[in-house]
Amino acid sequence: MAALSPQLKQATGVLAERGEGVHIHGADGRRYLDFTAGIGVTSTGHCHPVVVRAAQEQVGTLIHGQYTTVMHRPLLALTERLGEVLPSGLDSLFYMNSGSEAVEAAVRLARHATGRQNIVAFHGGFHGRTMGAGALTTSATKFRAGIGPMMPGVVIAPFPTAYRYGWPQQQAVEFALDELDYLLTTVSSPQDTAAFIVEPVLGEGGYVPADAAFLRGLRERADRHGILLILDEVQTGVGRTGRFWGHEHFWAPEDGRRLADVLITAKGLASGFPLSAIAAPRELMAKARPGSQGGTYGGNAVACAAALATLDVIRDEKLVENAAEQGTRLLGGLREVAGSHPSVGDVRGLGLMCASEFAGPDSRPDPATAARAQQEAAARGLLLLTCGPLGNTVRMIPPLIVTAEQVDEALGIWAEAVTVAVAAAGHG
């Protein structure tokens, strides 16, 4: 009898029978608040009726048309529609199935367009598990150990993780930019550097927001040296942070200058259907050599129809605004819980991308208490995930439709879960 690979260690033990809005209905007959949905790609909530209807209709019309053979209407309509929400100038799109594939495509495009090889990624970043995207990923050694050699031509530079260094934010930013300059002088000369790739908020790396001065510094260096700036908005995009794109928190130049040369989106885009895209200016996208990008299912018609419906729901139900409002509520509540538990060393987040980092009395990362809090929350009906290099950060990433009542319910459960976990660790 076949069974799932033993490498699949499942955090909560819940067998999902059905999803509905913010909830997962388990085979155990219980209903769980799904505050992991954003990583599991559900932006509009589980099985939003508008998304379900659009996908069902598309299944009966055309399941897929391979874009090297035929074009289909959902792909054209989605492209037009994404043009309305993308930063101006990113007017050319290419579709794939997953975030990792889109990262690979962005790297290939950057190498073709610049004729240079090296990609600078940032410490704590996560860009996927394929051999190329994995080479850019340093959010934890588990994504790399024993797999190498990874794709060559990758240079890792510091990200301004002020909490980790115990520094003021400005100092962390200055350090990160100085080190980047140093790397461009000592390791990867600008003439060899094709692109920087960065997340607006480190996701798997522990929910660390970037910084306006840091991103401005990257843009300046990119302009100075003819390096492309790739923004990985796989986790932060499509309303998640309370702005349509995560980087909009840090970037609003009066002169209309764009931050990204290439923007990557996936996850929340199609409410759970596999779909990702890279967006870039047409002249840049034209430099990808024909045949170098793509795959069998990229831009699948059902996924595109679901994405169109997702964008409708986000607009009609004002979900970006809701993410901002409920995110503020959630972050405030998490700070209150942390206030009575010194074990929660830091609370961070943007919009509905919030996290609590656990540290022991000696300020050392405390993954055991984080894992226990996650389990206690699941036992009380709240599904959560950990993140961060050592897994000592617990994140909350509910669907964008979450209500104030559901946020409060989750916070109530969280307060109990933390109390039990901290008591069990013996350092309450």
In the complex, which residues of this chain contact ligand PMP (CB under 6 A)? 98-100, 103, 126-128, 199, 203-204, 232, 234-235, 266
Answer whether 88's CB lies under 8 Å from 282's CB.
no
The C-alpha atoms of residue 323 and residue 126 are separated, in whole angstroms, by 23
The C-alpha atoms of residue 373 and residue 189 are separated, in whole angstroms, by 45
Between residues 26 and 388, which has the closer beta carbon with respect to ligand PMP? Answer: 388
Between residues 205 and 327, which has the closer beta carbon with respect to ligand PMP? Answer: 205
The C-alpha atoms of residue 175 and residue 198 are separated, in whole angstroms, by 17
373 sits in the region (left: phi over 0; alpha: psi -120 to 50; else beta) called alpha
Question: Closest approach of Cβ 244 to ligand PMP, in Å?
Answer: 16
Question: Closest approach of Cβ 126 to ligand PMP, in Å?
Answer: 5
Helices (H) and strands (E) in the chain, counts: 12, 17
Question: Closest approach of Cβ 210 to ligand PMP, in Å?
Answer: 12
Per the DSSP assignment, residues forming a β-bridge with 231 are 198, 263
Q: Which pairs with CB-CB distance under 8 Å and at least 24 residues apart come from 85-88?
A: 85/244, 85/311, 86/263, 86/279, 87/245, 87/258, 87/259, 87/260, 87/263, 88/256, 88/258
Between residues 234 and 331, which has the closer beta carbon with respect to ligand PMP? Answer: 234
Task: Please report how many Cα atoms fall inside a 13 Å half-sphere around the Cα of residue 339, on the Cβ side.
Answer: 6
How many residues are present in the chain?
Answer: 428
The C-alpha atoms of residue 200 and residue 157 are separated, in whole angstroms, by 15
Question: Closest approach of Cβ 206 to ligand PMP, in Å?
Answer: 12
Between residues 333 and 351, which has the closer beta carbon with respect to ligand PMP? Answer: 351
The C-alpha atoms of residue 370 and residue 356 are separated, in whole angstroms, by 9
| Paired sense of beta strands 31-34 and 23-26, if any | antiparallel
Question: Closest approach of Cβ 281 to ligand PMP, in Å?
Answer: 21
Between residues 132 and 327, which has the closer beta carbon with respect to ligand PMP? Answer: 132
Between residues 82 and 338, which has the closer beta carbon with respect to ligand PMP? Answer: 82
Tokens of 163: 């909490």
Between residues 261 and 376, which has the closer beta carbon with respect to ligand PMP? Answer: 261
First-to-final CA distance of the chain: 46
Tokens of 167: 């520094």
Please list, in sequence order, all residues whose beta carbon lies within 8 angstroms of the beta carbon of residue 58, skipping any fewer than 6 positions away. 74, 301, 302, 304, 305, 306
Question: Closest approach of Cβ 14 to ligand PMP, in Å?
Answer: 20
Between residues 12 and 235, which has the closer beta carbon with respect to ligand PMP? Answer: 235
Question: Closest approach of Cβ 60 to ligand PMP, in Å?
Answer: 27
Task: Please report how many Cα atoms fall inside a 13 Å half-sphere around the Cα of residue 18, on the Cβ side.
Answer: 6
Between residues 75 and 234, which has the closer beta carbon with respect to ligand PMP? Answer: 234
